[in-house]
Structure 1
Amino acid sequence: MLALRLTRAARPAVQLRRLLVAAASAGTGFLLLSCLGYALHHPQSAGAAALRLVWCAVPLAATVYLALAVARTDPGTKPRTGLSAVGLGPARLMAVSALTTALACTLGSAVALLVFLHLRGDLTGMPFDGAASDFLASDQPLPLPAALTLLTLVPATATTTVALSLRPRDPRPTTPGPRRFGRFGAYGHATAKETFGTYGRYGARLSRRTASDGGAPHPHATGGRTAEAAPAPQESGDLTAPDTEAGSPAPAPETTWPADTPQPPKDAPAGLPWGITFLAMGLAVHAYADRAALAVLLGWLLIATGLVLAAPGLTHLCGRLLQSTRPGALRLLAGRVLMAEATRIGRPLGVVCAVASAGYAMTTLYAGSAPAFGPLTTLGALLVTGCTVATLLTAAVETRQCRSETTAALLRLGAPASMLRVAAALRAAALLALFGPLTVAVAALAALPVDR
């Protein structure tokens, strides 16, 4: 009931994204049912029917990726202050996201089943004068268990992926720092050496525990004196030493980041070498594929994996290039955003680059040697392209949501809104200048053995 209430009370933009997930699920379900109809109509071509079913893995993956991106940007399931007190903790919100995804995908699968039954003529008369009977198997009864099994693939896969990706994680670091030992083998984290008799002094160990917990030291930790009365070391250059003229200690500058402040990125994403490796493997498979269907599919899967792994590193590199050669405030802002959001923006960009490369190679570089596209091939191509573009736009929305506080802070500091829009346009232009030629180059290299 909570998932239904959150679904109904969402804004129109959120409802539109959920409808896109339902439409993608409907298209993928219809393609799966078409594979079943082709297998029923051609029982002697089991290999061709299995190959059609394998090719449906591409739109299935695109649909699941879109569903995950939409679940990440759902404002109704974002953790907020006070929700845990009423029973809406991170685990419950993850369950609500998974249920919302399941509802959208189940709605799309139901629509796909109704359309398929309508085209078969099971609900009304046969439309289009039976022109699509090749993959509908209208002359044979439809096995309902097999159809329902295929239709549950999209909701089950999408729901499981969303639940695993949005599961609550422990914010504490998984690998603790190096353990140090104090006097007599006791655990300690201080780097200063202890003097003789420190361990047995009353309250000496209590001050370290309270300091590590963020609290004030115990008054007995300094031998009965309070922390304010403890003398500060007088060293040259010590900013915390007491001021002899004013009589009050000078505050030290803030040199550490607060716990809730995101730190700037230091290193580039680590997937660039692996991405180049997978990309080279995919191009090598294409070079020796001899246009076999499974080999071509394997090659494009390797190419897509390589582009997805390499795209965050390339996006980070694009942000660095924007800040080179004495940048101003505009280029600094655009470059820093690209570096900070390299992973979130780069992965959908890699998927779009892979899909655009495959489409460009099949429609342009193959010339007249490629077979003519049928209605199912066109539907699959439109479905994959639409899902990847929608995922990229949804990732942009997620990036905007994550940086809303930073944007508001810049506006409060007096930054004009036009500068933020120009910075966004500069980021888009820089990414297009980098990934556009890369897409054309990958498509040309993939189709080179065919032209030769």
Structure 2
Amino acid sequence: MLYLRLARGYRVLDLGRWLLTALAGSVVAAFLLRSLGRAMSDPQGTDGSVVRLLWCLPPLAAVAWFAAVAARALPAQRPERITGLTAAGAGSTRIRILIAGEIALASALGSALTLLLFLVLRNDIAGDTLAPELGMGVPLPAAAPVTLLALVPLVAGVAAAIAVPAVETLPGRGTPGGTPGTAQGYTPLRLAIPVGLTVIGLALELYGLRSGAAEDGRPLHLPAGLGSTSVAALGGWAGTAIGLALLTGPLLAWAGRLLALGRPTPLRLLAGRGLTAEARRLSPPLAVLALILAVVLTTIRYWVGTPDSADVLPAIEAVLVLGCAVAAVVARLAEVRTARRQVTAGLLQLGAAPRLLFGAVALRALAVGTVLLLTGGLTAALGAATLA
């Protein structure tokens, strides 16, 4: 009943988040049910069943990531809801459970709709093409689809509950380690880890791509029709990609400091200080989005250059993962905008022109795009060299 009362106050943003969570959960449920249907159609193919289940992990992780970002942004976007729940006697732990339950409920609804469609198609409606995917002609154990589909709301709910710190859900309290939006410096130790990963990964990839490296050992066959490569090249690319992703935050902070360097104009000062203050909050979803885009573009490039190598299932999963990453970035941007609402209102009261504020946003977006083009472009270029 409480969730129904909360739903009565939903806005467009709340409905969009809820529907996106349900849609993502339904797609992941479709992947899980497909793996179940294929396992029933080919009971002797144990290895193939395990591989198909492993293919469900990337979209499941993407849904968990989106659920975590959306749950973390909810208290900042709807402080009046948190205030009302607190006034009604709900503590921080119960509020976290309510937020996690809302997201898990959306995922469960999407999974239930997919299960209903799966059962309808198994009722002699699907043709011969979908028969192996649905396991038609084989009795369906009731516990199998329920157990598989319970993973989707469970993973989304747990990720949402972990993502929201209890201290952030209560009105009038700041984020741990400072007030929202305060710039936090990157210590040399925090910079040494991503820089070391990037350098070591780049050296390892260059070693794996040297002439005559193919004779060192057996090649590693990649999934999704991406051919084969050496273990050193793939491991080096993975290390470099993770290092560049971890460097996104420091690069954004340095880009903000560079904008405000010297005697900046009000436009550069607002853009630079704002980017430096929000670099730590913006960097995780932006780094994930840049990494996913680099992987997707590298895969598309290989498929285009190698005819008849494309696979439908990885392409659909890539669309889902990319969609979850974009939705996570949008949710984080909405959270940042809500957190800076008082600052923006104060600047307008002081006489700042709206054109100045829009210009600062555009300049920050240009700086962020430049950083992502650097990290994502280098990741994609190294990935293309690995698959060449």
Q: Normalised by the size of structure 2, how large is the TM-score?
A: 0.82
Q: Which residue of 2 aligns with 1:446?
A: 383
**SS of residue in 2 equivalent to 1:423:** helix
Q: CA deviation at 1:152?
A: 1.0
1:227-238 counterparts in 2 under 5 A?
none
Distance of 2:69 and 2:107 partners within structure 1: 14
Distance of 1:157 and 1:426 partners within structure 2: 38
**SS of residue in 1 equivalent to 2:264:** coil
Q: Deviations over 1:71-127 (max 9, x none)?
A: 2232446675575343023222212101101111111111221232233x32xx423
Mark the CA change 1:397 to 1:38 in structure 2 (over 3 Å): closer, same or farther: same
**1:39 maps to 2:39:** yes
**1:348 maps to 2:346:** no
Q: Which residue of 2 aligns with 1:310?
A: 247
Q: Does the 8 Å contact 1:362/1:370 carry over to 2? A: no
1:290 corresponds to which of 211, 216, 219: 219
Q: Does the 8 Å contact 1:78/1:93 carry over to 2? A: no
2:321 corresponds to which of 384, 400, 405: 384
Q: Which residue of 1 aligns with 2:215?
A: none
More displaced stretch, 29-38 vs 382-391: 29-38
Q: CA deviation at 1:359?
A: 0.7
Q: CA deviation at 1:8?
A: 2.9
Q: Does the 8 Å contact 2:82/2:95 carry over to 1? A: no
**1:265 maps to 2:183:** yes
Q: Does the 8 Å contact 2:103/2:157 carry over to 1? A: yes
Q: Does the 8 Å contact 2:68/2:162 carry over to 1? A: no
Q: Does the 8 Å contact 1:348/1:391 carry over to 2? A: yes
Q: Does the 8 Å contact 1:77/1:93 carry over to 2? A: no
Q: CA deviation at 1:449?
A: 3.3
Q: CA deviation at 1:325?
A: 4.2
Q: Which residue of 2 aligns with 1:198?
A: none
Whichever of the two has the greater Rg, that structure is 1
Q: Deviations over 1:228-257 (max 9, x none)?
A: xxxxxxxxxxxxxxxxxxxxxxxxxxxxxx
Q: Which residue of 2 aligns with 1:156?
A: 154
Q: Deviations over 1:338-370 (max 9, x none)?
A: 111112211011111111111111111454337
Q: Which residue of 2 aligns with 1:177?
A: none
Q: Which residue of 1 aligns with 2:228?
A: none
Q: CA deviation at 1:390?
A: 0.9
Q: Deviations over 1:196-255 (max 9, x none)?
A: xxxxxxxxxxxxxxxxxxxxxxxxxxxxxxxxxxxxxxxxxxxxxxxxxxxxxxxxxxxx
Q: Which residue of 2 aligns with 1:29?
A: 29
Q: Does the 8 Å contact 2:71/2:163 carry over to 1? A: no
**SS of residue in 2 equivalent to 1:341:** helix
**SS of residue in 1 equivalent to 2:135:** coil
**SS of residue in 1 equivalent to 2:132:** coil
Distance of 1:304 and 1:104 partners within structure 2: 33
Q: Which residue of 2 aligns with 1:102?
A: 104
Q: Which residue of 1 aligns with 2:114?
A: 112
Q: Which residue of 2 aligns with 1:231?
A: none
Q: Does the 8 Å contact 1:73/1:394 carry over to 2? A: yes
Q: Does the 8 Å contact 1:271/1:313 carry over to 2? A: no
**1:84 maps to 2:86:** yes
**1:60 maps to 2:60:** yes
Aligned AA (1:4): L
Unpaired segments ≥5 residues, structure 2: 170-176, 210-217, 224-230
1:415 corresponds to which of 339, 346, 352: 352
Q: CA deviation at 1:429?
A: 1.1
**SS of residue in 1 equivalent to 2:134:** coil
**SS of residue in 1 equivalent to 2:131:** coil
Q: CA deviation at 1:297?
A: 9.1
Mark the CA change 1:88 to 1:304 in structure 2 (over 3 Å): closer, same or farther: farther
More displaced stretch, 160-169 vs 292-301: 292-301
Distance of 2:219 and 2:80 partners within structure 1: 49
Aligned AA (1:65): W
Q: Which residue of 1 aligns with 2:296?
A: 359
Matched-pair identity in %: 35
More displaced stretch, 85-94 vs 391-400: 85-94
Q: Which residue of 1 aligns with 2:95?
A: 93
Aligned AA (2:183): P
**SS of residue in 2 equivalent to 1:135:** helix
- The size of the alignment, in residue pairs, is 360
Q: CA deviation at 1:371?
A: 5.5
Mark the CA change 1:430 to 1:260 in structure 2 (over 3 Å): closer, same or farther: closer
Q: Deviations over 1:237-285 (max 9, x none)?
A: xxxxxxxxxxxxxxxxxxxxxx996684251376443334445666647
Distance of 2:299 and 2:319 partners within structure 1: 14
Mark the CA change 1:338 to 1:413 in structure 2 (over 3 Å): closer, same or farther: same
When the two chains are superposed, the root-mean-square deviation of aligned CA atoms in Å is: 3.0
The structure, 1 or 2, with the larger RCO (C-alpha pairs under 8 Å, 6+ apart) is 2
Distance of 1:393 and 1:4 partners within structure 2: 25
Q: Which has the higher helix share?
A: 2
**1:369 maps to 2:306:** yes
Q: Deviations over 1:121-152 (max 9, x none)?
A: 32xx423x321233222232223212111111
Q: CA deviation at 1:329?
A: 1.1
Q: Does the 8 Å contact 1:308/1:348 carry over to 2? A: no
Mark the CA change 1:114 to 1:408 in structure 2 (over 3 Å): closer, same or farther: same
Q: Which residue of 2 aligns with 1:194?
A: none
Mark the CA change 1:155 to 1:366 in structure 2 (over 3 Å): closer, same or farther: same
Q: Does the 8 Å contact 1:24/1:387 carry over to 2? A: yes
Mark the CA change 1:381 to 1:267 in structure 2 (over 3 Å): closer, same or farther: same
Distance of 1:364 and 1:318 partners within structure 2: 30
Q: Which residue of 2 aligns with 1:126?
A: 125
